[in-house]
Amino acid sequence: MLFRPRRPVRILGITFQGIFPKRQKVLAERIGRLVAEQLLSSSDLKEKLLAEDNIDEILYMIEGKIDDYLLNTFPEKYPITSIFFGTRRKAQIKADLVGEVNVAVPELLNNYADRIDEKIDIEAMVRRKVEGLDPVMLEKLLNGILKSEFKFIEWVGAILGFLIGLLQLLIAEFL
């Protein structure tokens, strides 16, 4: 009854559907809210984005691109002009560009991070993903997460069913 029937089935005017497939939209909204507020908030994203090691890595990659441009692309695109640029002049241009980039990248990342709530709606992304899950995938996902809890529910149900049946038998015998 938790997962099946996956699609609504009408029997004698009554519609039957598994609890999770029937409430998939509500489940998607709740999971989206939980992820956005408790597990991966926009402040978490900002913190990771603005971490010093991330900024250093970005700066290092940009510096590599500048090197590649000055050594390879510039001479190919501007062969005559590149004749007038020696190693020392290229090093000076690189130093100037790297200095500008070292100032610009943290500034740009800070500006982007300030608007991250507008750009990335974690709750909506998660909600859409869960809503769009095929009922079979939803069942696999929830079974993977809640397997031990479902086993516990089965055992508790079996024990309670046995005890209630035993109680009914005792009541029927003594009445």
pLDDT digits (tens, 9 = 90+) for 58-70: 999 999 999 999 9
73 pLDDT more than 90: yes
Within a domain: 164: no
Within a domain: 139: no
Within a domain: 169: no
Into how many domains does the chain fold? 1
Cα 14 to Cα 7, 11, 17, 89, 117, distances in angstroms: 13, 5, 10, 82, 44
pLDDT for 163 equals 96
Range of the domain at 112: 9-133
The C-alpha atoms of residue 56 and residue 101 are separated, in whole angstroms, by 11
Within a domain: 52: yes
160 pLDDT more than 90: yes
Residue 4: phi, psi to the nearest 5? -125, 145
Looking at residue 7, the DSSP 8-state letter turns out to be: S
Q: Write the burial class of residue 171 (CB in 10 Å: 0-12 exposed, 13-18 middle, 19+ buried).
A: exposed
The C-alpha atoms of residue 54 and residue 52 are separated, in whole angstroms, by 5
pLDDT for 128 equals 94
Instruction: Find which of 64-68, 116-120, 145-149 is predicted with most confidence, using mean pLDDT.
Output: 64-68
Q: Encoding tokens for residue 59?
A: 């700066």
pLDDT for 2 equals 75
Within a domain: 147: no
What is the mean predicted confidence (pLDDT) over 32-45? 88
Within a domain: 156: no
pLDDT band at residue 78, thresholds of 50, 70 and 90? very high
What is the mean predicted confidence (pLDDT) over 47-52? 89
Within a domain: 167: no
Within a domain: 73: yes
Helix axis angle, 87-114 relative to 42-49, nearest 10°? 170
> What is the percentage of the chain residues whose pLDDT exceeds 90?
47
